[in-house]
Amino acid sequence: MDHVVLTGDRPTGPLHLGHYFGTLANRVALQDSHTMYVLIADYQVITDRDLPGEIQRNITELLLDYLAIGLDPARVTIFQHSAVPELNQLLLPFLSLVSVAELQRNPTVKDEIAHSSQQAVSGLMFTYPVHQAADILFCKGTLVPVGKDQLPHVEVARLVARRFNERYGPVFPVPEAMMGVRPLLKGLDGGKMSKSRGNAVHLSATEDETAALIRKARTDAERLITYDEERRPEVANLLTLGGLCLGRSPESIAEEIGDGGAAALKRLVTEAVNEFLRPIRKRRREHTEADVRQVLREGNERARERAIVILDEVRAAMGF
């Protein structure tokens, strides 16, 4: 089937290997055969913090990450929320389609509130999943490659599409989520891999930074390396990371290391990660800041053209 693929990221910091194996690799594979939009979700940055921070810097770095992994701006429309007013305007009718109780039940939002350091929960925190539905539907997106934490949000987009169509006639396709098939990577400290926790290998990290981070990774004192997710989660995670980079099973790597202990494991994983990132680092260096700004200008323009058409259709369906 011919899909319109839409996905995106908040520009809050550099992308890491968890993102890569979770969703970025999928995007690169999909760009050949489908229409694709990649959103830099700048308005979504202020859901769980008061200020957008170094937003321009973060957007530039995110664009560099995209180009480095091989997204091709000639085929993929890369754009940002704040440059497409017609997308944002969809939030208004969409909010009328969901109840407050539904907004309060969203498990990802609840988790984010629980981990937030903000004094008060803003209205945007509860409504951003509906804004995200606008992200997906503004281009009549049909396929949304995301990590597991985003499934409740795709569910909101499906609900909004269905209810809009019921009330006003058929305008939107009902989008589907697409999950990465790869195992979930944890951070090198054993916790959730996160942009902000210092426990992730960034796609933009140098060889030395990568080596230092893996050297610090938590392991255990057993010399014989085995793949045992239950009993030895930190070792298993390193084996998974090495396996993903080498295209091999974690068990076969454990076998190869045998009783070499954590030091040999870390050496092997460091080399595997650095080898894997080499072409990505090289492509990153091939782009200047001026190039990436141009990519964004063109992407914003294309996204806006699409958004104008869809918003017109929405207004017509509603009788405005």
Long-range contacts of 214-220 (CB under 8 A, 24+ apart): 214/188, 214/238, 214/266, 214/269, 214/270, 214/273, 215/266, 215/270, 216/188, 217/188, 217/189, 217/266, 218/188, 218/189, 218/190, 219/262, 219/265, 219/266, 220/262
> Does the protein bind ligand TRP through residue 310 (CB under 6 A)?
no
Q: Which of 17, 24, 39, 246 binds ligand TRP (CB under 6 A)?
A: 39
Q: Which of 25, 76, 143, 146 binds ligand TRP (CB under 6 A)?
A: 146
Q: Which of 26, 35, 44, 237 binds ligand TRP (CB under 6 A)?
A: 44
> Does the protein bind ligand TRP through residue 150 (CB under 6 A)?
yes
Alpha-carbon span 77 to 118, nearest angstrom: 33
Nearer to ligand TRP, 108 or 226 (CB): 108
Least Cβ distance, residue 42 to ligand TRP (angstroms):
10
Nearer to ligand TRP, 42 or 189 (CB): 42
Residue type (1 letter), 200: A
Instruction: Give the largest Cα separation in the chain, rounded.
Output: 72
> Does the protein bind ligand TRP through residue 65 (CB under 6 A)?
no
Alpha-carbon span 202 to 182, nearest angstrom: 18
> Does the protein bind ligand TRP through residue 140 (CB under 6 A)?
no
Nearer to ligand TRP, 86 or 135 (CB): 135
Nearer to ligand TRP, 18 or 250 (CB): 18
Nearer to ligand TRP, 132 or 274 (CB): 132
Owner of token pair 């996905």: 7
Helix boundaries (H) for 147-223 = 151-168, 207-215
> Does the protein bind ligand TRP through residue 270 (CB under 6 A)?
no
Q: Which of 132, 142, 199, 274 binds ligand TRP (CB under 6 A)?
A: 132
> Does the protein bind ligand TRP through residue 189 (CB under 6 A)?
no
Nearer to ligand TRP, 27 or 232 (CB): 27
CB 227 within 8 A of CB 239: yes
Residue closest to 8 by CA, chosen among 164, 182, 131? 131
> Does the protein bind ligand TRP through residue 202 (CB under 6 A)?
no
Chain residues that interact with ligand TRP, rule: CB under 6 A: 6-10, 39, 41, 44, 132, 135-136, 144, 146, 150
